[in-house]
Structure 1
Amino acid sequence: MEPNRIVRAAAAQIAPDLTSRDKTLARVLETIREAAAKGAELIVFPETFVPWYPYFSFVLPPVLSGREHVRLYEEAMMVPSAATDAVASAAREHGIVVALGVNERDHGTLYNTQLVFDADGTLVLKRRKITPTFHERMIWGQGDASGLKVVDSTVGRIGALACWEHYNPLARYALMAQHEEIHVAQFPGSMVGPIFADQMEVTIRHHALESGCFVVNSTGWLTDEQIISITPDEGLQMALRGGCMTAIISPEGKHLAPPITEGEGILIADLDMSLIVKRKRMMDSVGHYARPELLHLVIDDRPASPMVTSYPSLETAPTRSTLDEHQTSAFDGNPDQRVAVVRRQAG
């Protein structure tokens, strides 16, 4: 990317529809159109925005959350699916990069997943939150390091983390070491109160400074009616207010526009990519300021799997004719001559 290019970025703070994936998705598509009409080349949506963040799990005890958990399964997004196709089409139609947080269903497990679609509609990144936080562990499975990748896009090199993954310094460093230029941050919003917003601001500004990149952060919003629908308990409702900090931060740690902390809106700011070099000239934490001979990160970025097939096809499976004369199979009558158990005899 040209170092002096200006990229117009947008961060959406809007409310999901807590009754329907399709209705929330319609809000996403509408917001993409609105942001693109304002010249945005990148738009970021909140954490697990489709169909909605599982706010219920923060205020309901596990014994009472089963019904809402099942409903989340029913409305969750498959990847790929008609829903992802719709987002890809919108990105392509409007020539805009889209970063979207979703609840991804993969058979019997839900994941907190971040999707990045390039401006031509190509899905260039699908990653899962590596460690769900506190109540979220009852809802989502764990991701792996295969998603800790920085990807090239029309607007530059993009990395992404969700919520308290930003408190895992090695996860952040993995993206920094891959020279991200724009960091996508996503938080749920409408939780915990003002202290959550304050902590979030410190976190994203620090990452911008340390990484020498832009941070585009999006948080969600709940209306009063939605909060009441989640819990009638007025005391618990307080836990579903505040905590919003939709913001766009420069590599110098500065807000590029006043953040959105209440209500709905689309925050837009221009990213002067030359500021990356300006910052890194002084402090490149993965370059001239690093000491890899003293400290370096080792990452296992292989996809995690509950099963590994040693011989994925008949062509590569050993047969008796290929076995050492001292090896025998426990299944002498195996009709296809593949070896189920191999023992090496003594002597």
Structure 2
Amino acid sequence: MDHTRLTAAVAQTASVLLDTPATLDRALSLIEEAAARGVQLLVFPEAYLGGYPKGADFHIYIGARTPEGRAEFKRYHDAAITVDGPEIAQLAKACARHAMHCVVGIIEREGGTLYCTVVYLGPQGVLGKHRKLMPTALERLVWGFGDGSTLKAVDTPWGKLGAVICWENYMPMLRMAMYQQRVAIYCAPTADDRESWVSTMRHVAMEGRCFVLSACQHLRRSQFPADRMNNRLPEAPDTVLMRGGSLIADPLGRLLAGPVYEQDDLLVAELDLSLVPQAQMDFDPVGHYARPDVFSLRVNTAPQDAVRLGDRNDG
């Protein structure tokens, strides 16, 4: 295997709302399609398995909840998965069959709490996971907060592989935590389909001197019926709810694929990993350009459940 060359892809597609088995079937089909095109690394969008609840409010407002909202959350909770569950096992088996790595956005269920999570898969199985540290805006109503224990990038034959989810990419210290691990392949599953996202991804590629692979869903109203989840969205069935914008950028910020809008797609690009040290010749964010005599970053990698209420002394 040539460890300096990698065929990578991002999948621009939608979940089947509240139907995890159907979404899993779609993911397995995309893995088959990608393998037929020689893909060795495939990235899926944020919250792909479990679903991104676009426009939903779960009837929550300050100081009150409703029985209808609780019932809706229960349906969303039932669509979520666990990392050690059968869905991830099937994806891992497909990766093993095709000697492929995958980065999959899921809604992870742990007890009564849901997390927006990315799972790293390789031919040998589950390599790790990352839970979104900071759910954005009303996402905080239904998703728990991740912690530093899942900020660890994973090893691949082509270098370190990491993932930063959606608006975590606007957290400078989190990006630096990835750069400190010498991430060569930086994945950004997202629900942000705005034009500004492309600028963000190109900036991250240049700042981190890494390849950036961003996957966003292409979702239309007909795939997100109101009778399955209350939401505040237009009723016309062809209304675009998420228009995609998936892309692949190289370490100098050049676009290798995408962005593509308003259609399903599998964007494929050949990555030359020798570009990483070439790009670092004049800018290495954690090397000769870091100025550790002036700046430093400490990352708390302890799991949040390691901090017990009884251990606190804050009054």
Using the size of structure 1 for normalisation, the TM-score is 0.81
CA distance, structure 1, for counterparts of residue 138 and residue 237 of structure 2? 16
* Offset at residue 234 of structure 1 (A): 2.6
CA contact (8 A) 1:16 1:50 kept: yes
Is residue 272 of structure 1 aligned with residue 272 of structure 2? Answer: yes
Q: Percent of pairs identical after alignment?
A: 33
Distance 1:141 1:242, change over 3 A: closer
Unpaired segments of 5 or more residues in structure 2?
Answer: 311-315
* Offset at residue 202 of structure 1 (A): 1.1
CA distance, structure 2, for counterparts of residue 267 and residue 74 of structure 1? 31
Larger radius of gyration: 1
Distance 1:239 1:203, change over 3 A: farther
Distance 1:236 1:55, change over 3 A: farther
CA distance, structure 2, for counterparts of residue 184 and residue 173 of structure 1? 14
Distance 1:2 1:298, change over 3 A: farther
Amino acid at match of 1:68: E
CA contact (8 A) 1:12 1:45 kept: yes
Distance 1:180 1:233, change over 3 A: closer
Partner of 2:204: 207
CA distance, structure 2, for counterparts of residue 243 and residue 206 of structure 1? 21
CA contact (8 A) 1:97 1:154 kept: no
Deviation digits for residues 206-232 of structure 1 (CA, Å, limit 9, x no counterpart): 110000000011001212312453547
CA distance, structure 2, for counterparts of residue 271 and residue 6 of structure 1? 6
Is residue 143 of structure 1 aligned with residue 146 of structure 2? Answer: yes
CA distance, structure 2, for counterparts of residue 85 and residue 255 of structure 1? 33
CA distance, structure 2, for counterparts of residue 221 and residue 68 of structure 1? 23
Distance 1:227 1:60, change over 3 A: farther
CA distance, structure 2, for counterparts of residue 309 and residue 123 of structure 1? 32
Is residue 44 of structure 1 aligned with residue 43 of structure 2? Answer: yes
* Offset at residue 89 of structure 1 (A): 0.3
SS in 2 for 1:257: strand
Equivalent position to 2:105, from 86, 94, 101:
101
Distance 1:262 1:17, change over 3 A: same
SS in 1 for 2:258: coil
SS in 2 for 1:135: helix
Distance 1:59 1:201, change over 3 A: farther
CA distance, structure 2, for counterparts of residue 141 and residue 175 of structure 1? 21
CA distance, structure 2, for counterparts of residue 100 and residue 130 of structure 1? 17
SS in 1 for 2:279: helix
CA contact (8 A) 2:5 2:272 kept: yes
Partner of 2:195: 198
CA contact (8 A) 2:189 2:216 kept: yes
Unpaired segments of 5 or more residues in structure 1?
Answer: 190-195, 311-347
Partner of 1:68: 72
CA contact (8 A) 2:10 2:267 kept: yes
Stretch moving more, 269-278 or 240-249 = 240-249
* Offset at residue 258 of structure 1 (A): 3.0
Partner of 1:329: none
CA contact (8 A) 1:56 1:65 kept: no
CA distance, structure 1, for counterparts of residue 220 and residue 93 of structure 2? 29
* Offset at residue 309 of structure 1 (A): 11
Q: Tell me the matched-pair count.
A: 302
Is residue 128 of structure 1 aligned with residue 131 of structure 2? Answer: yes
* Offset at residue 262 of structure 1 (A): 1.4
Deviation digits for residues 165-200 of structure 1 (CA, Å, limit 9, x no counterpart): 0000000000001100000101125xxxxxx42121
Amino acid at match of 2:96: R
CA distance, structure 1, for counterparts of residue 142 and residue 19 of structure 2? 18
Equivalent position to 1:86, from 73, 90, 94:
90
* Offset at residue 75 of structure 1 (A): 1.3
More strand as a share of residues: 2
Partner of 1:176: 179
SS in 1 for 2:104: strand
Distance 1:303 1:270, change over 3 A: same
CA distance, structure 2, for counterparts of residue 109 and residue 31 of structure 1? 29
CA contact (8 A) 2:220 2:238 kept: no
* Offset at residue 241 of structure 1 (A): 2.8
Using the size of structure 2 for normalisation, the TM-score is 0.89
CA distance, structure 1, for counterparts of residue 58 and residue 166 of structure 2? 18
